């Protein structure tokens, strides 16, 4: 099935909002065996939209729209679709009742202009939208489909997941299932070499991708049903797990902080941090994982040198090696453990940039982990923006915690 | 001038990368007096791209492309433009020399397939790209322009800023200058009412927008030159500053943390934080401002209750009012000051979510500032995602610091 995506809204063309709906939908089409050839953004202009939809109607089997379903005169998606279908809209009594009930529940009367949200045409059925007043439209004629969803991402995504994707999946004769396996600690080339006997497989197939949090492997299979596709992928996944074992830290949408948090929980260990260059971003990232209060005791942002000393970094270490040194990072990790009484301590010192500090180049980072009976550290200089430098150091600190936990196993 | 944007790359259609180039370019066109009617994304397919460009050639005056300028066979932007121009590419000797020199500087020989990056056509001139091997293309024929820029945002943005935008500005007969004034502490309706006498002005015009960090006013003027447009805006800006005075915290791209940092610096004051629900995000945000080491002493992430007590929050306060209370937030602010010896202390406690805690709803937040001789606080419940809840609390804490600094003036 050939598809195209159309996002509707003048704010997109003004650059005031970024069209994330297209990306959301695009990323989900391969799984349904649907090929995407075009995506476009267009303003709230009925003639131009109708023109674009007519063109899509000729070249594609499926047009996926979002936006322009509001009650105002600017919202012209329904009108444009009517032009393409060559049909007149009529008010659907059941939809009208629902709409009036929606407003009544909020204690207000429905403005009459909202009535067009109760429109349907002979080739159109409504797609439920419990999150808003605008139902979607599923129009089907001459073997072609136009689906119109609301613009707000929360409404669109729910409609996609609960209503549109399941129906498209039912009609698809080729479902694609994919599974992402996330690793860290090995380079892309090494991973590629280790799994090279598996790379020949075509269904399921396997791809290797370098990402900021390590090397990801994407396993993909294609079959008539989801169950069959999942069955195809299983032996390949097991083979990958056998080969890569300990370097795998997570699957699919799992983040590093959630994976590390799970390891800490499983081992019954607690963690604490002392940060300088990252200014609290490591603590904030660790606590991005729901339930992190089970293992995160506390964090210290020792931005000033005297503050590091006040919180237990020996003055001699700083005097001898400098504030920006791996020795200071190690002392910070140890001090974090002591200050918070945790099992694991993490220390980060460095130069976030953009300017050098103490003659050290921006992007210089020292990260250390202390686990009481041992420790680990890494030092590097890699300068991008201040924001990137902070994020990279946090990712590396989480990697180091993981390595320490594995080594202690 | 009527423009359209075309982003080229199969990864966009697969949903693997989000097309941010379109948004970047779109947001800059109004300032050049250029109207944007269409943006599209298309894969690395020569026939489909040529077709799309031909259509743009008919309906628009200016086509702004990004992507597809690499050296591989998949990179077909040059080929497709040649089709539209009906011209044959030839290798430009000067560009070829530059390209070979680029590789020589890296100690490698240029692969022969890179040679097409030295192509030009009779209607095309090269646009310099010091960040990569692919120069841009500026093609002009029959009064129409096609501009092709590289896909990587860093290369594209530099080329836009340094090469493309200045040339488009020279040709434009209507430059639009805009200035954003950022306020906090007043609602949209109140700001609107206060400046209502100014709202009638059309050139310059003024718009009021509610944003996460407060109410923004966007002043916009249109004139033949940048200087004239800037001159037009000045008296309006002065009028706004007179009316809104102290509620203005910044201009244009300035962030709240930079604005608050500047106030701290001007007053010679230092700051420290103690966070629970936000887990270090406030400290990290404060230190996102370059030069924050001048006023940020340190931060404490007191995630566990016992850790709060260990760092100076009186046990009685927690016993009496609970961990999630405004009294505990105040005690945390005071404790942060004492622990770090700073002038100002900030405390945040609450429920980041998604689950309730101590019978308090997710999104419940208490934020407090302590300045030694006084303080301020705010409490609210507003639940979105965990990430949003944290961000909102950080924004409110910075607002509170600003309010405290202004009150102490």
Is residue A292 scored above 90 in pLDDT?
yes
Q: Which of A42, A283, A297 sits opposite B280 (nearest CB)?
A: A283
Nearest chain A residue (CA) to B295: A304
Q: What mean pLDDT comes out for the span A99-114?
A: 87
Handedness of CA B353, B355, B358, B361 (dihedral sign): positive
Of A218-222, B54-58, B366-370, the poorest mean pLDDT is in: A218-222
User: Which of B12, B264, B303 is the best mutation test for A, with the most CBs of A within 10 A?
Assistant: B303
Residue length of chain A: 409
Phi first, then psi: give them for residue A184, nearest 5 degrees. -145, 160
Q: What mean pLDDT comes out for the span B184-194?
A: 85
Interface check B30 vs A, CB under 8 A: yes
Look-up of token digits 């009316």? B243
C-beta pairs of A311-317 under 8 Å, 24+ apart in sequence: A311/A274, A311/A335, A311/A339, A311/B298, A312/A338, A312/A339, A313/A274
Please, which pLDDT band fits residue B14 given cuts at 50, 70 and 90? Answer: confident
Is residue A311 scored above 90 in pLDDT?
yes
CB neighbours (10 Å) of residue A18? Answer: 18
H or E segment to which residue B370 belongs? strand B364-370
Question: Any bridge partners for residue B379, and if so which?
Answer: B366
Interface contact B14-A23, CB threshold 8 A: no
ipTM surpassing 0.90: no
Interface contact A284-B390, CB threshold 8 A: yes
Nearest chain A residue (CA) to B18: A23
What are the residue ranges of helices labelled H in A216-325? 226-244, 256-267, 281-286, 305-310, 315-321
Q: Taking CA A337 as the corner, what is the angle to CA A336 and CA A341, rounded to the nearest 5 degrees? A: 120
In a 13 Å sphere around the CA of B43, the CA atoms on its Cβ side amount to: 16
Q: Could you tell me how many CB contacts below 8 A there are between chain A and chain B?
A: 196
Q: What mean pLDDT comes out for the span A305-323?
A: 96
Q: How many helices (H) and strands (E) does chain B have?
A: 15, 17
Q: Three-state SS for A181?
A: strand
Are residues A39 and B40 in contact, defined by beta-carbon separation less than 8 angstroms? yes
Interface check A307 vs B, CB under 8 A: yes
Interface contact B14-A26, CB threshold 8 A: yes
Nearest chain B residue (CA) to A341: B307
Higher pLDDT, B147 or A30: B147
Which of B187, B198, B188, B242 lies closest to B220 in space, CA to CA? Answer: B198
Interface contact B37-A13, CB threshold 8 A: yes
Interface check A211 vs B, CB under 8 A: no
Q: Return the pLDDT at A44.
A: 92
Interface contact A299-B301, CB threshold 8 A: yes
Interface check B353 vs A, CB under 8 A: yes
Q: Which stretches of B270-332 are assigned E, i.e. beta strand?
A: 271-275, 296-302
Q: Which of A280, A303, A386 sits opposite B293 (nearest CB)?
A: A303
Are residues A343 and A353 in contact, defined by beta-carbon separation less than 8 angstroms? no
Measured in angstroms, the CA of A209 and the nearest CA of chain B are apart by 11
Interface contact A287-B304, CB threshold 8 A: no
User: Which tokens belong to B29?
Assistant: 């066109």
Is residue B409 scored above 70 in pLDDT?
no
Measured in angstroms, the CA of B91 and the nearest CA of chain A are apart by 31
Q: Return the pLDDT at A95.
A: 95
Q: What mean pLDDT comes out for the span A191-207?
A: 89
CB neighbours (10 Å) of residue A52? Answer: 24
The Cα A293–Cα A287 span in angstroms is 7
Q: Three-state SS for A10?
A: helix
B238 DSSP assignment:
H
Q: Name, in order, each residue with C-beta under 8 angstroms of A358's C-beta and a sequence gap of 6 or more.
A: A322, A323, A324, A351
DSSP calls for A345-382: EEEEEE--SSS-BTTBPTTEEEEEEE-SS-EEEEEEE-
Terminal Cα distance for chain A, rounded: 50
Q: Return the pLDDT at A260.
A: 96
Burial of B141 (C-beta count, 10 Å sphere; 0-12/13-18/19+): middle
Which of B223, B218, B217 lies closest to B203 in space, CA to CA? Answer: B223
Are residues A329 and A396 in contact, defined by beta-carbon separation less than 8 angstroms? no
On whether the pTM is more than 0.80, the answer is no
Which of A271, A291, A283, A395 lies closest to B278 in space, CA to CA? Answer: A283
Digit-coded pLDDT (tens) for A123-149? 999 999 988 888 999 999 999 999 999
Interface contact B48-A38, CB threshold 8 A: yes
Digit-coded pLDDT (tens) for B358-367? 899 999 999 9
How much of chain A is helix, strand and coil, in % rounded to 5?
45, 25, 30
Is residue B234 scored above 90 in pLDDT?
yes
How much of chain B is helix, strand and coil, in % rounded to 5?
45, 25, 30
User: Which of A55, A303, A345, A362 is the best mutation test for B, with the most CBs of B within 10 A?
Assistant: A303
Nearest chain B residue (CA) to A301: B299
Distances (CA, A) of A16 to A292, B2, B5, B25: 36, 19, 15, 11
Average pLDDT, chain B: 93
What are the residue ranges of helices labelled H in A120-211? 153-159, 165-171, 188-194
Q: Return the pLDDT at B64.
A: 98
Of A235-239, A324-328, B202-206, B208-212, the poorest mean pLDDT is in: B208-212
Interface contact B354-A290, CB threshold 8 A: yes
The Cα A52–Cα A75 span in angstroms is 16
Q: What is the dihedral of CA A52, A57, A59, A64, to 10 degrees?
A: 80
Q: What mean pLDDT comes out for the span B372-389?
A: 89
Interface check B297 vs A, CB under 8 A: yes
Q: Three-state SS for B254?
A: coil
Are residues B277 and B293 in contact, defined by beta-carbon separation less than 8 angstroms? no
Nearest chain A residue (CA) to B52: A38
Higher pLDDT, B175 or B311: B311
Digit-coded pLDDT (tens) for B58-110? 999 999 999 999 888 889 999 999 999 999 999 999 999 999 998 888 888 88
Q: How many helices (H) and strands (E) does chain A have?
A: 15, 17
Are residues A203 and A230 in contact, defined by beta-carbon separation less than 8 angstroms? no
Please, which pLDDT band fits residue A214 given cuts at 50, 70 and 90? Answer: confident
Interface contact A23-B40, CB threshold 8 A: no
Which of A138, A14, A22, A148 lies closest to A75 in space, CA to CA? Answer: A148
Is residue B43 scored above 70 in pLDDT?
yes
Residues of A in contact with B25 (CB under 8 A): 15
The Cα B333–Cα A215 span in angstroms is 42
Q: Return the pLDDT at A128.
A: 95
Phi first, then psi: give them for residue B242, nearest 5 degrees. -60, -45
Q: What mean pLDDT comes out for the span A192-221?
A: 87
Of A106-115, A293-302, A311-320, A360-369, the poorest mean pLDDT is in: A106-115
Peptide bond into A204 cis (omega under 30): yes
Residues of B in contact with A41 (CB under 8 A): 22, 38-40
Are residues A303 and B291 in contact, defined by beta-carbon separation less than 8 angstroms? no
Q: Return the pLDDT at A281.
A: 97
B360 DSSP assignment:
B
Digit-coded pLDDT (tens) for A271-291? 999 999 999 999 999 999 999
Q: From edge to edge, which strands make up the β-sheet containing A175-183?
A: A205-211, A214-223, A175-183, A248-251
Phi first, then psi: give them for residue B250, nearest 5 degrees. -175, 175
Digit-coded pLDDT (tens) for B274-304? 999 999 999 999 999 999 999 999 999 998 9
Digit-coded pLDDT (tens) for A232-274? 999 999 999 999 988 899 999 899 999 999 999 999 999 999 9
Please, which pLDDT band fits residue A409 given cuts at 50, 70 and 90? Answer: low
Digit-coded pLDDT (tens) for B247-272? 899 999 899 999 999 999 999 999 99
Q: Three-state SS for B150?
A: coil
Nearest chain B residue (CA) to A29: B14
User: Which tokens belong to A307?
Assistant: 């503050």
Residues of A in contact with B275 (CB under 8 A): 280
The Cα A336–Cα A354 span in angstroms is 27
The Cα A353–Cα B297 span in angstroms is 18
Q: Which of A30, A38, A298 sits opposite B14 (nearest CB)?
A: A30
Interface contact B38-A48, CB threshold 8 A: yes
Residues of A in contact with B311 (CB under 8 A): 298
CB neighbours (10 Å) of residue A316? Answer: 10
Phi first, then psi: give them for residue B174, nearest 5 degrees. -145, 100
H or E segment to which residue A329 belongs? helix A326-340
Nearest chain A residue (CA) to B294: A304
């Amino acid at each position: 099935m050939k598809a195209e995506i159309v996002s509707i809204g003048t704010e997109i063309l003004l650059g005031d909002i970024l069209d994330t709906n297209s990306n959301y939908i695009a990323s989900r089409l391969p799984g349904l065996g649907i090929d995407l050839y075009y995506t476009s953004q267009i303003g709230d202009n009925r003639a131009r939209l109708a023109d674009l939809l007519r063109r899509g109607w000729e070249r594609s089997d499926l047009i996926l729209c979002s936006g322009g379903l509001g009650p105002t005169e600017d919202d012209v998606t329904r009108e444009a679709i009517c032009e393409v279908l060559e049909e007149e809209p009529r008010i659907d009594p059941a939809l009208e009742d629902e709409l009036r009930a929606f407003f009544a529940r909020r204690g207000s009367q429905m403005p009459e202009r909202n009535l067009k949200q109760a429109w349907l045409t002979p080739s159109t059925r409504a797609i439920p939208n419990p999150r808003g007043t605008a139902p979607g439209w599923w129009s089907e004629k001459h073997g072609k489909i136009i689906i119109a969803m609301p613009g707000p991402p929360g409404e669109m995504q729910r409609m996609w997941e609960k209503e549109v994707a399941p129906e498209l999946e039912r009609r698809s004769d080729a479902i694609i299932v994919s599974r992402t396996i996330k690793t860290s600690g090995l380079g892309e080339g090494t991973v590629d070499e280790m799994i090279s006997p598996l790379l020949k497989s075509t269904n399921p197939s396997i791809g290797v991708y370098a990402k900021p949090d390590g090397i990801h492997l994407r396993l993909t299979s294609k079959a008539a049903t989801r169950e069959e596709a999942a069955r195809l992928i299983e032996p390949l996944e097991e083979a990958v797990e056998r080969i890569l074992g300990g370097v795998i830290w997570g699957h699919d949408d799992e983040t590093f902080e959630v994976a590390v948090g799970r390891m800490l929980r499983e081992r019954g260990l607690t963690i604490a941090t002392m940060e300088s260059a990252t200014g609290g971003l490591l603590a904030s990232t660790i606590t991005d994982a729901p339930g992190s209060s089970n293992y995160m005791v506390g964090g210290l942002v020792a931005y000033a040198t005297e503050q590091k000393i006040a919180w237990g970094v020996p003055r001699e270490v700083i005097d001898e090696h400098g504030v920006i040194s791996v020795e200071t990072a190690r002392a910070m990790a140890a001090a974090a453990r002591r200050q918070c009484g945790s099992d694991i301590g993490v220390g980060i010192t460095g130069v976030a940039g953009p300017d050098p500090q103490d003659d050290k180049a921006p992007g210089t980072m020292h990260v250390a982990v202390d686990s009481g009976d041992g420790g680990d550290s890494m030092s590097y200089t890699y300068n991008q923006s201040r924001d990137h430098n902070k994020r990279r150091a946090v990712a590396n600190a989480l990697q180091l915690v993981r390595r320490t936990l594995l080594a202690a196993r």
